[in-house]
């Protein structure tokens, strides 16, 4: 097995603000260890960059140096990954990124401090089981199952829509609801698409594609189409919700940052008995006309103390897409923080 550039495990001494710990992984299997470290130790370097620690490896002996909480995180992560590899589970940069997102530093700090961590609520669907990753995703799923109305607010790539669809499918399969409604405001992202041919469903389909993708993954293409034909799954533009009362349904309002204050109030007052509603959105990507306040931001300001509503706020660290997505979101946030009011007003 190739050695790390600093192959002497005792060559690096901890600073006063850091700690150093050793780890021995068993069984000592060269093939499994090579999978853990990755080609040219890319996996170890990915862990180092994310946790801010240094990892030196020789054979099955690992030396971790860095801040105490992060070293504990790295030790637990390496142990967990190696156990999975020994059971035949592969490891790639993509899956490692998801593992690192799940083992967030806040979660690890709670674990290291002895705070009990609530059991992860696995969502079971027809074709797959979905496990929320990280504290915020777990809190989000718990809120969906606990409250009649839940909000998931945060940047792109944090799993808001996917987890909502998974919870909806689970509720339908367990017969806790009779149907699923997919709702989205028909607002274009700065582009004018013009006339769209077809019936109502075909016109709104392009706006609901992320919801469809989740449904296809969890139920299969044929089952989804059959449910749509029977109105078990219904597609509804937000503007067409006025006047309805929705009982025994699981309703998902996606891209809610593009609702107006009046539309959000109208939607929230459609909820009937036995129904669950999930509202998702990203307050940093509002496509409404300039000067129009987002119904999502307005609701988050006035409803946070209302009993029976759940709010989950996602941050950059919760992004579970490609690592570049997280860095892009952070770069935009940093620019917005530094930009002057004049800069922000420019097109």
- Indicate the residue among 69, 93, 112 that finishes a domain: 112
Which pLDDT band holds residue 97 (cuts at 50, 70, 90)?
A: confident
Full-model pTM: 0.66
Residue 339 has a pLDDT of: 60
Q: For the chain, what is the mean pLDDT?
A: 79
Rounded to 5°, angle at Cα 295 from 259 and 138: 95
Indicate which CATH number applies to the domain containing 85. Answer: 3.30.1370.10
Q: What is the pLDDT of residues 103-143, one digit of tens each?
A: 654 444 444 444 444 555 778 887 777 878 778 888 999 99
Total number of domains in the chain: 2
Indicate which CATH number applies to the domain containing 207. Answer: 3.40.50.300
Q: Concatenate the DSSP letters of all residues of 226-289 into one string.
A: HHHHTTSEEEEEGGG-TT--B-SEEEEE-SGGGSBHHHHHHHHTTB-TT-EEEEEE-TT---SP
Residue 297 has a pLDDT of: 92
Has residue 117 been placed in a domain?
A: no
Residues 57 and 79 in one domain: yes
What would the mean pLDDT of 266-282 be, rounded to a whole number? 91
Residues 211 and 75 in one domain: no
Per DSSP, 50 falls in state H
pLDDT exceeds 80 at position 59? yes
3 state DSSP class of 175? coil
Q: What percent of the chain has pLDDT over 70?
A: 77
pLDDT exceeds 90 at position 296? yes
pLDDT exceeds 60 at position 346? no
Residue 36 belongs to what domain range?
19-112
Which pLDDT band holds residue 299 (cuts at 50, 70, 90)?
A: very high
């Amino acid at each position: 097995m190739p050695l790390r550039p600093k192959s002497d495990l005792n060559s690096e001494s901890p600073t006063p603000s850091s700690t150093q710990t050793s780890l021995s992984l068993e069984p000592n299997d060269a093939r499994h260890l090579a999978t853990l470290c990755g080609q040219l130790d890319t996996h170890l370097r990915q862990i180092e960059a994310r946790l801010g620690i240094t990892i030196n490896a020789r054979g099955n002996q690992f030396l971790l140096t860095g801040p105490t909480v992060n070293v504990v995180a790295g030790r637990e992560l390496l142990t967990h990954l190696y156990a999975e590899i020994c059971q035949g589970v592969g490891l790639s940069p993509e899956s490692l990124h998801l593992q690192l997102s799940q083992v967030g530093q806040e979660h690890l700090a709670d674990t290291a401090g002895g705070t009990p961590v609530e059991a992860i609520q696995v969502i079971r669907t027809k074709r797959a089981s979905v496990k929320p990753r990280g504290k915020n995703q777990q809190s989000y799923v718990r809120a969906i199952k606990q409250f009649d109305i839940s909000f998931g607010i945060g940047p792109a790539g944090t799993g808001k829509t996917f987890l909502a669809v998974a919870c909806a499918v689970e509720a339908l399969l367990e017969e806790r609801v009779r149907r699923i409604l997919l709702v989205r405001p028909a607002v274009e992202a700065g582009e004018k698409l013009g006339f769209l041919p077809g019936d109502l469903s075909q016109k709104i389909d392009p706006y609901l594609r992320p919801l469809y993708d989740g449904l296809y993954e969890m139920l299969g293409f044929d089952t989804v189409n059959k449910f749509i034909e029977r109105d078990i799954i219904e597609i509804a533009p937000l503007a067409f919700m006025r006047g309805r009362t929705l009982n025994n349904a699981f309703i998902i309002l996606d891209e809610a940052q593009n609702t107006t204050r009046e539309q959000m109030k109208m939607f929230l007052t459609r909820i009937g008995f036995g129904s669950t509603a999930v509202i998702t959105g990203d307050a940093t990507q509002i496509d409404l006309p300039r000067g129009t306040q987002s119904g999502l931001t307005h609701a988050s300001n006035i409803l946070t103390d209302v009993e029976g509503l759940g709010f989950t706020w996602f941050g950059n660290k919760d992004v579970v897409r490609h690592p570049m997505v997280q860095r892009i979101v952070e770069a935009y946030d940093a620019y917005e923080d530094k930009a002057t009011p004049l800069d922000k007003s420019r097109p």
